[in-house]
């Protein structure tokens, strides 16, 4: 059975719950709920395992805080013997409009501290990621408050639909592969 590591980035703690920066956690929570899974606290992460069409997806929400996400990713890749190409990171993206999804095989950290730490820890940026658009509708100097802020009313109405698309893309990544997943989901 092929194994995949699916990493949802976010910060632990109630003050960060359901903020733009925690979209990675929210997407994995949706996926777990959709398949009636429960996360368990484990080493460096909350973990759930999803068996889907002959594939095993290890879902992790690092408990290391965003800036040390690489520690959890590295640990779970080693512990589960999962390759880089079978690892996908779900991350918030300021450069994309709200809800837009962009899947790719590699990329820069784009100033995102979670991706920066993963890249430093793994020594490469050659791993698949799903970037979830959070838009950049903030005033100069207000980026931190925006990213760590809650979704506005309009976004909250559309968020469940966009989270479902991201969850479907994760399953497609494991089932049909990265290239076909990109073709199918990058313009949805």
Q: Kind of pairing, strands 40-42 and 2-8? A: unpaired
Half-sphere exposure for 92 (CA within 13 Å, toward CB)? 28
- Per-residue pLDDT at 73: 98
- Per-residue pLDDT at 161: 97
Residue 13 CA: distances (Å) to CA of 31, 62, 64, 66, 188: 20, 12, 11, 12, 31
Q: 119-152 burial by CB neighbour count: b if 16+ within 10 A, else e?
A: bebbeebebbbbbbbbbeeeeeeeeeebbeeebe
Cα gap 177→157, rounded to integer Å:
31
Of residues 138 and 70, which shows the higher confidence score? 70
Q: How many domains does the chain have?
A: 1
Q: Which residues contact residue 43 at a Cβ distance below 8 angstroms, ignoring those fewer than 6 apart? A: 75, 79
Cα gap 100→113, rounded to integer Å:
21
Half-sphere exposure for 16 (CA within 13 Å, toward CB)? 16
- Per-residue pLDDT at 133: 97
pLDDT bin (cut points 50, 70, 90) of residue 188 is confident
pLDDT higher than threshold 80 for residue 29: yes
Q: Which two tokens stand for residue 42?
A: 């484990």
- Per-residue pLDDT at 1: 73
| CATH number of the CATH domain containing 69 | 3.40.50.1470
pLDDT higher than threshold 90 for residue 56: yes
Compute the average pLDDT of residues 81-96. 97
Among 18, 21, 35, 112, the active-site one is 21
* Ramachandran area for residue 30 (φ above 0: left; ψ -120 to 50: alpha; else beta): alpha
21 is known as an active-site residue: yes
Q: Which residues contact residue 72 at a Cβ distance below 8 angstroms, ignoring those fewer than 6 apart? A: 7, 44, 45, 60, 62, 63, 64
- Domain hosting residue 163, numbered range: 2-185
Cα gap 179→6, rounded to integer Å:
17
- Per-residue pLDDT at 139: 87
């Amino acid at each position: 059975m092929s194994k995949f590591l699916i990493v949802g980035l976010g910060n632990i703690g109630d003050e960060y719950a359901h903020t733009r920066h925690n979209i990675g956690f929210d997407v994995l929570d949706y996926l777990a709920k959709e398949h009636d899974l429960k996360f368990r606290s484990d080493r460096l992460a909350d973990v759930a395992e999803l068996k889907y069409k002959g594939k095993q997806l290890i879902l992790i929400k690092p408990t290391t805080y965003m800036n040390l996400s690489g520690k959890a990713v590295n640990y779970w890749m080693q512990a589960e013997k999962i390759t880089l190409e079978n690892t996908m990171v779900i991350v918030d993206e300021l450069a994309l409009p709200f809800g837009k999804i962009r899947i790719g095989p590699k990329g820069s950290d784009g100033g995102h501290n979670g991706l920066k730490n993963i890249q430093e820890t793994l020594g490469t940026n050659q791993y698949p990621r799903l970037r979830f658009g959070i838009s950049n509708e903030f005033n100069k100097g207000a980026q931190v408050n925006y990213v760590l802020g809650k979704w506005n009313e309009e976004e909250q109405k559309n968020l469940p639909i966009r989270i479902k698309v991201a969850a479907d893309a994760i399953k497609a990544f494991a089932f049909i592969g990265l290239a076909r997943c990109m073709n199918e989901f990058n313009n949805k």
